[in-house]
Amino acid sequence: MAAELQIKDDKNETAATASLNAFLDFFSHEAAGGVVLGIATLAALAFSNSPWRDLYTQFTQMPGTVDVGGILVLHKPLVVWVNDLWMAVFFFLVGLEIKREFVEGELGSRSQAVLPVAAALGGMVVPAIIYALINTGDATALRGWAIPAATDIAFALGIVMLLGSRVPASLKVFLTAVAIIDDLGAIVVIAVFYTADLSLIALALALIGVAGLFLLNRAGVRRPDAYIVVGLVIWVCVLKSGVHATLAGVLTALAIPMRDHAGEPLAGKLEHALHPWVAFVVLPTFAFVNAGVTLVGLSPAALLNAIPLGIAAGLVIGKTVGVFGTAWLMIRSKLAAAPAGATTRQLFGVCVLCGIGFTMSLFIGSLAFEGLDPGYETQLKLGVLAGSLIAGTLGTLILRRA
């Protein structure tokens, strides 16, 4: 009996160690990736405001074609390939992270999930309301209501990494969970609100592919490449259906089993392998081709236009009020426990960092203003860059003083 208990304790300790290592690995990649993301953003701004700005534009619009025997022909500029295909890889990783957190991680039980879930929901609703209030009366501008509702996990964790021991481990876990729930909310928003005219045939084929993923899972298939092949077919169908193609990445990830037949992590290994590529290649590439905005001829007053003002106010004020206000109410009403070892000021500082929208805000904005006058794109980028910069600076100062 004693031996059995010892074996059980060893297994529990091993599982706990594995879970901690998975989080630390996730955190290190996201945080370091935030630094690379910042470099790519600065490079985009430098090129787009230099004598080589035309070369930068030509690079982002460089055409690329995929032709499969004349049956399937996809002809798109580089920026669209990045936003539709490369970001599908990012959303595939997000899907793996969401599944891990809900099955085995910090969101696996109600007591653990209630605070970050509530805070993330508050952090999506309040910024959207602020943006809508500022842009009331402009139907076109209102299409961007979801832009300030997003959090950029790479940038936020990058700042937390630089702050080191000033941020308790419990708040790092809280920030990670909030950002993951935020990504899940963004996926739902994209699927429901930013879908073009639907092709029912392509959508039906995509649903058949999703059914194929389900059957692979039910049949006990443990080869990730089988799911990825089906996922690529779904990606093409979703792309042609009018629903944004990146959703295919999430659906594919959610179908992959957590463990193989020997009980070893399967989805976790795939997540571990993808993290460096997404953190250091996919997201920086997205930032470089999307963050370039020409500031020549723009005055500080341009930030007071309704769209950039709504985005910046939503990110800085809306995110802080939504995330911190909801978390504070949950803790005061004893519906959730406060992050262990963290002061109210430290919690407030981390909630301010949630206002760094960047990657997801730019992505949602590109969908909201797709096909419109380029002036909307400029206003989008101004608002996202200004709001994210202010939120990052304020959050850092608060945490340093805390």
Name which CATH class applies to 2-194+244-401: mainly alpha
Q: Is there a contact between 111 and 337 (Cβ–Cβ < 8 Å)?
A: yes
Lowest mean pLDDT among 24-33, 267-276, 332-341: 24-33
More confidently predicted of 59 and 340: 59
Classify residue 280 as exposed, middle or buried by CB count within 10 Å of its CB (0-12, 13-18, 19+): middle
Lowest mean pLDDT among 9-13, 292-296, 368-372: 9-13
Q: Note the maximum CA span of the chain.
A: 78
In whole angstroms, give the CA distance from residue 311 to residue 254: 31
More confidently predicted of 255 and 244: 255
Residue 28 has pLDDT above 80, yes or no: no
Number of neighbours of residue 61 by Cβ within 10 angstroms:
12
Of 363, 361, 353, the residue nearest 391 (C-alpha): 353
Give the pLDDT of residue 246. 77
Q: Is there a contact between 286 and 115 (Cβ–Cβ < 8 Å)?
A: no
Lowest mean pLDDT among 26-30, 120-124, 128-132, 201-205: 26-30
Q: Token pair for residue 298?
A: 């723009």
DSSP code at position 229: H
State the pLDDT confidence band at 7, using cuts at 50, 70 and 90: very low
Residue 235 vs residues 41, 204, 254, 292, 360: alpha-carbon distances, Å: 28, 13, 14, 27, 20
DSSP one-letter string for 84-134: IIIHHHHHHHHHHHHHHHHHTSTTSSHHHHHHHHHHHHHHHHHHHHHHHHH
| Phi and psi, residue 337, nearest 5° | -90, 145
In whole angstroms, give the CA distance from residue 119 to residue 3: 44
Share of the chain above pLDDT 90, in %: 29
In whole angstroms, give the CA distance from residue 393 to residue 302: 21
pTM over 0.95: no
In whole angstroms, give the CA distance from residue 145 to residue 107: 27
For 17-28, b where at least 16 C-beta lie within 10 A, e where not — what string? eebeebbeebbe
Give the pLDDT of residue 2. 46
Domain ranges of the chain: 2-194+244-401
In whole angstroms, give the CA distance from residue 98 to residue 121: 15
Residue 272 has pLDDT above 90, yes or no: no
Number of neighbours of residue 187 by Cβ within 10 angstroms:
21
Instruction: Please name every residue paired with 73 in a beta bridge, in sequence order, or none if there are none.
Output: 67
Interval 128-154: pLDDT, tens: 999 999 999 899 999 999 999 888 877
Interval 281-326: pLDDT, tens: 888 888 888 878 777 767 777 788 899 999 999 999 999 999 999 9
In whole angstroms, give the CA distance from residue 283 to residue 307: 25
